[in-house]
Structures are given as C-alpha cells and as structure tokens.
Structure 1
Amino acid sequence: MGCKKHGCDTGSCVCDALANIKKAQDKVERRDDGCSNSCYSDLLSPRGRDNRRDARDTVPFLLQGKDGKYFYATGGIGTRDCFQTVFFRVESIDEDKCCATLSLLEPDMDIEFDKCCVDPTSLCDVDEVERTRECIEVDLNCFCAVQCLDPDLVGDIDKKRHHHHHHGK
C-alpha cells in the first residue's frame, strides 16, 4: 500500500517542485516569483553575491511529512563517518511514479534530535553541506512540503570532511 493514502491527496506539489529543481540543475532556468528561496526561481543563476564556485549544480532542499517533521536519512553506515542529514539533492526523478533518487548532503555539524525527531533549531547552526555519493530512493507522495535552500550552502563533493570553516588553505 502506497503512503499516498495517508498524505496529501491533492496531487504532488513536492513531485512537481523536485522535477523543476532537476530541470534547473540540468539547465539553469529563468523565472522569478518573488521568493528568495523558491523552488521555482532562478535557482542556480548568480544572485549578485560572491560566487565561491563557478559551476553550481546543486539545489539543496529539505522535505517535511504531513506531520511537519523533517525527513532525515543516515549516510556512511558502517564507517566512522556515519552522519544524519535532512539535506538532499535530487539526482533523478520518475515523474510518472513520483519517485526520486536523492543524494544525501552532509552537514558540517551534527543535527540534534529531540527523542524521535530532528530539532529544527539545530539546523540554524549549519553553515555548509557537502555532496556525498550516498543515495536514497523516496516516494515523493509521502511528503507534503519541500523547502529549497541557497545553492551557496553546498561545498565540494570531494572535499574532505571535518574541515570546518577553513576557507582557503
């Protein structure tokens, strides 16, 4: 039984948003809807800020279930670099089934949990997330909210972990 029965039956706005993010990552789109962090604005075009990287190809985002709780995943299981994250990048999407492959973006600090759930206030302390090659398959019908974040949050996929706040050498 799919989880669509328990969630938002109104369709798949999360599915649509992720499909749009994927398109934007594949080819920078031009569209402005007045939100600074909208999933439909000029996601990867420079915003007149200091661009740390030339090729920005990741729109990081958070997902929330119908209970408002942040969706999280654990990466690096079985290694010393095990981590939890609520930050994801869409790698591929099947719009017919509304399923997606997401890669985990590793935050530069540990996310706090309050019993079962991510403590949202702990997310305010994250300065950077790094791309990883850890992936997860998700049914997008299970989510009711997607929040896009600034592409400048994302560090380099092959940068070594645990070098907090060291820009340059």
Structure 2
Amino acid sequence: MGCKKHDSDTGNCVCDAVAAIKEAQDQVDDRVDCRNSCFNNLLSPTNNNNGLDTVPFTLQSKSGGYFFATGALGRDDCFQTVFFRVENIDEKNCCATLSLLRPDADLDFDKCCVDPISLCDVDELERTRYCIEVDLDCFCAIQCLDPNLVGDIDKHKCR
C-alpha cells in the first residue's frame, strides 16, 4: 500500500504531519492528546515547553532507509544528519523547506545509508541555518522526536 492511500488533507500522511509540525512551531496552543504524535502540539505550554520552538523529526524513504542530508559542504565542520526542522511548507505541492539539525555525535554511514544504531548515541541536536527543499511525496514515514533534544541555533546560514 502506498502512502497516498490515507484519508488525510493532502492525501499524503507525511505531508500532513509536517504541516502539523509547522503549525505547532508557529503557534503554541493547549491541544494535547498524545505526547509524541506529529499531529499534536508538542510545544504546548501544558507540556512545559520552556521556550522550545522546534519539533525535530526523521524521515524514511519508501524503501525504509533514513533520509539524510549534508551541511557545511566544503568546510571543516561538514556534517551529515537525519534530523530536521520544518521551516516552510507548500501544502498544495507537498514540498517543504527543512533546516538541518546537527547531531552532537557522528552518525555511522555505510555507503548510502545511516546505521540506525548510531542514532542512539545522539543526546542533543543543534539548530543550523543550512536548509534543503524536499518533496514530501518521496517519504512514507516520519518520526517526531522530543523537542528537548534541540539546542540553540548556530551561526550558519541557509544556502
């Protein structure tokens, strides 16, 4: 069964989840139904958000692998990540601008794919201004993570 077989706003469950995350980041409200659902506001004041403004998440491809991106190309502080923050979303076309969240531990990559076990070594994510544009139709799974993982934004700029 493909991802577009769900009853949802756009016909794509990942697109709908990213739109919900963007809404949660844009406005803090008091809706709380499930602690880790991408469709609920993890940044709600009733969740003791302490000024948090990011719902970090990972994406998986239709083949089941983690989607990853590289930030700071051509620099000494180049990094790879599977952790993202939504910055903007075009729900009509199911496309989004995602900023890369830099993990505090190096992720292990084997040729094309990240070793899922290496994700367990990550204790903190740092916001960056490195961004990518993605077609959310290319993904079949999204996992929201604890907003407390995310630290302050660094000095990098979207390119």
Query: TM-score, length-normalised on structure 1?
Result: 0.82
Divergent runs of 4+, >6 A: none
Distance 1:74 1:86 in 2: 9
Q: Distance in 2 between matches of 1:46 and 1:115?
A: 42
Cα offset for 1:47?
Answer: 6.3
Matched, 1:29 2:29: yes
Structure 2: which amino acid aligns with 1:131?
R
How far apart in 1 are the matches of 2:97 and 2:155? 22
Give 1:140's aligned amino acid: L
Partner residue of 1:101?
Answer: 97
The question of whether the paired residues in 1 share the 8 Å contact of 2:56 and 2:147 is answered with yes
The secondary structure found in structure 1 opposite 2:126 is strand
Alignment partners' CA distance in 1, 2:101 and 2:71: 9
Deviation of residue 48 (structure 1)? Answer: 6.1
Secondary structure of 1:25's counterpart equals helix
Output the CA distance in 2 between the equivalents of 1:16 and 1:48.
Answer: 22
If asked which structure has higher relative contact order (CA below 8 Å, sep 6+), I would say 1
Shift of 1:62: 0.2
Calculate the TM-score normalised by the size of structure 2.
0.87
Local SS of the residue matching 1:33: coil
Q: How far apart are residue 45 of structure 1 and its match?
A: 2.4
Helix, strand or coil: the match of 2:3? coil
Post-superposition Cα deviations, 1:117-141, rounded to whole Å, max 9, x if no partner, equal: 1100100110000000000000000
The equivalent of 2:51 in structure 1 is 55
Q: Return the structure number with greater strand share.
A: 2
Q: What is the rounded CA distance, in whole Å, between the counterparts of 2:28 and 2:141 in structure 1?
A: 23
- The question of 1:127 aligning with 2:120 is answered no
Q: How far has the Cα of 1:46 moved from its partner?
A: 5.1
Question: In structure 2, what is the Cα distance between the partners aligned to 1:30 and 1:42?
Answer: 8
% identical equivalent positions: 71
1:118 aligns with 2:114: yes
Is 1:72 paired with 2:71? no
RMSD between aligned alpha carbons?
Answer: 1.9
**Which amino acid in the other structure matches residue 65 of structure 2?**
K
For residues 155 and 73 of structure 2, the distance between their equivalents in structure 1, rounded to whole angstroms, comes to: 19
Deviation at 1:42, TM superposition (A): 3.1
Aligned residues: 150
Q: CA shift at 1:56, angstroms?
A: 0.8
Q: Does 1:40 align with 2:35?
A: no
- Unaligned stretches of 5+ in structure 1? 1-6, 161-169
Is the Cα contact below 8 Å between 2:104 and 2:126 reproduced in 1? Answer: yes
